[in-house]
Amino acid sequence: MVPVLLVALLAATWGGTATLATGQERDAAICVVANLSEPARDSVADLDVIRRFFLMRERFWPSGAAVHPVNLPASSSLRERFSRAALGQSVQELAPYWNERYFHGTRPPPTVASEAAVLLYVARTPGAVGYVERSQVEAPPAGVARLFCLPEREDG
């Protein structure tokens, strides 16, 4: 009974659908950010590495420091866009992956409520990595480095 309840809870948390917003929010670039204390951050401009971090398949930066990815809520349109662009699947499509990983002892990255909270988490957590809209990191806050941005949509 408990496993069924747990699966239902995880599916509700991770499987919620997120709708894409229209207009500027939908077309804005998504930037991957990291804590400035991570010395290897300059060499990690590879989307495949970021994908492995967020899927918890790789847990350490090249320097050996622990990586700490952070997500926005499953209902966030930015998270949905990041999930599709960086992880190759929607938030809902990833729910079975996280259910399986959870039962093998791997928890998904923690979530925070907003992009401001992502930046605060990244600034205060050595090894942290997250994602925000490009406008949030035109002048990155203290302790945060922009690694790279995913390209903006071109198909209107």
Residue 14 has φ and ψ, to the nearest 5°, of -100, -20
Give residue-wise pLDDT tens across range 98-145.
999 999 999 999 999 999 999 999 999 999 999 999 999 999 999 999
Give just the sign of the alpha carbon dihedral 41, 85, 154, 139. negative
Q: Is residue 96 part of a domain?
A: no
Is pLDDT at 7 greater than 80 in this prediction? no
| Higher-confidence position of 86 and 26 | 86
> Burial code of 48-67, b = ≥16 C-beta within 10 A, e = fewer?
ebbebbbbbebeebeeebeb
Token pair for 130? 């997250």
Give residue 146's region: left, alpha or beta (phi > 0; psi -120 to 50): beta
Question: Does residue 91 contact residue 74 with C-beta atoms inside 8 Å?
Answer: yes
The amino acid occupying position 11 is A
pLDDT over threshold 70, residue 15: no
Task: Report residue 36 as tokens.
Answer: 């400035």
Given a cut of 60, whether residue 6 has pLDDT beyond it is no
Number of domains in the chain: 1
Establish if 133 belongs to a structural domain.
yes
In a domain, 8, yes or no: no
In a domain, 127, yes or no: yes
Segments forming the whole domain that contains residue 59: 27-89+109-149
Q: Does residue 101 belong to any structural domain of this protein?
A: no
Read off the tokens for 100.
Answer: 């399986």
Domain-located, residue 56:
yes
Question: 91 pLDDT exceeds 80?
Answer: yes
Rounded Cα gap, residues 55 and 41, in angstroms? 18
Give me the pLDDT at residue 40, please: 53
42 in any annotated domain: yes
* Residue 52 within any structural domain of the chain: yes
Instruction: Classify residue 154 by burial, with Cβ atoms within 10 Å: 0-12, 13-18, 19+.
Output: exposed
CATH of the domain at 57: 3.40.190.10
Indicate the residue type of 28: A
Dmax (CA) for the chain in angstroms is 50
pLDDT given at position 46: 83
